[in-house]
Amino acid sequence: MDNFTFGVTMMVCGMGGTILTLWVLSLIMSLLGKAFPEKKEEK
């Protein structure tokens, strides 16, 4: 694979993959935060 294709693929898939993965994780953690709010006794 030539360097140009490699570089562009890494940038697109790498940056896209990182932000997409972290976005999915942030959504899941938001949902979990709502599903399991802090209980009174924990406070």
Partner 1 sequence: MEHAILGGLQGLTNGFLNLDWRTLVMLFLGCVLLWLGIKKGCEPLLLVPIGFGCILVNVPLSEVMGEEGFLRTIYNMGVANELFPLLIFIGIGAMTDFGPLLANPSTFLLGAAGQFGIFFTLAFALALGFPQLDAVAIGIIGACDGPTAIYVTAKYAPHLLGAVSVAAYSYMSLVPVIQPPIMKLLTTDRERKIIMPSMTGTVSKTTKLLFPLVITVIGGVIAPQGLPLLGTIMLGNLMRESGVVGRLTKASENEIANVVTLFLGLAIGGTMAGEAFLRAQTLIILCLGLFAICLDTVCGVCFGKLMKIFTGGKINPLIGAAGISAFPMSARVVQREGQRYNKKSYLLMHAMGANAGGQVGSVIAAAVMLSVLNGMGII
Cα 11 from Cα 9, distance rounded (Å): 5
Q: Least distance from C-beta 24 to partner 1, angstroms?
A: 7
| Contacting partner 1 within 4-43 (CB under 8 A) | 6-11, 13-15, 17-19, 21-30, 32-33, 36-39, 42-43
Applying CB under 8 A, which residues contact partner 1?
A: 1, 3, 6-11, 13-15, 17-19, 21-30, 32-33, 36-39, 42-43
